[in-house]
């Protein structure tokens, strides 16, 4: 009798183990299938971005291995790698930051840009050196995004690097209006006090006339004073007389 119960128990255990093992295998195969399907969508340059996003989010964190692969390998269309970067940040949150930072040095400018925007979305303000380095990036869009990260994340220690960028753009032959305007505004936003004298010097330069409104705004923000109403010449004289001018970057 005891032998019968023992045999029955053994059969039941084996059946249960076999059932659980089969279930695990089936689950693994199902996930592999989902990964293959998602991977093929990312490989296809004609895949609609909204559909790609919906399919990825539907799979949730299980899609992370595919997203990582898409970001790392150049075989995928740039637009889809762009989408994968944002989706990784959305799914993993701040845990994805150390991985995203590595892509700030990626050869593809779109990946550098996507990583910058993703880190801004995640409010990662501890990567000052990475952001300031990209202020000299070959891509205008990357440089512009790097300044935006610095401004919106309030990275005050990057003020000197932003001021240096403004100084570089003072040369007419190299002047980039978009970057110069953004740099001036960012100095005001960061309350970078050492920039005051350089901003006054810029207002003394008549080739800067189109930037006078931004320069005046920045000086008002940094000093807490309002320039007098009237002509720009009057404002220039006011700032010249109220500041002991010396360039902080000479």
214 within a domain of the structure (yes/no): no
**Residues 83, 53: contact at Cβ < 8 Å?**
yes
204 within a domain of the structure (yes/no): no
SS3 state of residue 9: helix
| C-alpha–C-alpha distance, residues 16 and 177, integer Å | 71
| C-alpha–C-alpha distance, residues 146 and 65, integer Å | 28
Q: Check residues 156 and 16 and name the one with the higher pLDDT.
A: 156
217 within a domain of the structure (yes/no): no
11 within a domain of the structure (yes/no): no
| C-alpha–C-alpha distance, residues 191 and 189, integer Å | 5
Count up the domains in the chain and report the number: 1
pLDDT tens track for 182-202: 999 999 999 999 999 999 998
Q: What pLDDT sits at residue 246?
A: 45
Share of the chain above pLDDT 90, in %: 67
50 within a domain of the structure (yes/no): yes
42 within a domain of the structure (yes/no): yes
Q: Which tokens sit at 6?
A: 């023992």
- Measured between its terminal Cα atoms, the distance across the chain in Å is 99
Share of the chain above pLDDT 70, in %: 82
Range of the domain at 100: 33-122
- By mean pLDDT, which of 41-55, 120-134, 143-157, 172-186 is the weakest? 172-186
118 within a domain of the structure (yes/no): yes
Query: Is 237's pLDDT higher than 80?
Result: yes
Query: Is 17's pLDDT higher than 50?
Result: no
Look up the pTM and report it: 0.82
87 within a domain of the structure (yes/no): yes
């Amino acid at each position: 009798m005891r032998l019968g119960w023992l045999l029955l128990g053994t059969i039941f255990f084996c059946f249960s183990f076999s059932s659980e093992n089969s279930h695990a295998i089936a689950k693994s195969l199902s996930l592999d299938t989902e990964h293959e399907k998602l991977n093929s969508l990312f490989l296809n340059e004609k895949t609609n971005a909204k559909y790609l996003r919906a399919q990825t989010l539907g799979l949730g964190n299980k899609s992370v291995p595919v997203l990582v692969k898409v970001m790392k390998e150049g075989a995928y269309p740039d637009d889809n790698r762009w989408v994968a970067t944002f989706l990784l940040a959305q799914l993993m949150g701040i845990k994805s930051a150390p991985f995203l930072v590595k892509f700030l040095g990626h050869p593809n400018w779109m990946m550098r840009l996507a990583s910058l925007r993703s880190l801004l979305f995640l409010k990662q303000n501890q990567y000052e050196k990475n952001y300031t380095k990209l202020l000299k990036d070959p891509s205008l869009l990357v440089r512009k995004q790097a300044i935006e990260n610095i401004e919106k994340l309030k990275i005050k220690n990057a003020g000197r690097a932003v001021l240096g960028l403004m100084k570089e753009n003072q040369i007419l032959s190299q002047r980039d209006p978009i970057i110069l305007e953004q740099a001036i505004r960012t100095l005001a936003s960061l309350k970078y006090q050492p920039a005051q004298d350089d901003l006054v010097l810029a207002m003394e330069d008549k080739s800067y006339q189109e930037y006078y409104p931004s320069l005046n705004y920045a000086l008002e923000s940094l000093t807490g004073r309002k320039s007098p109403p009237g002509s720009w010449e009057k404002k220039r004289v006011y700032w010249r007389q109220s500041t002991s001018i010396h360039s902080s970057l000479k």
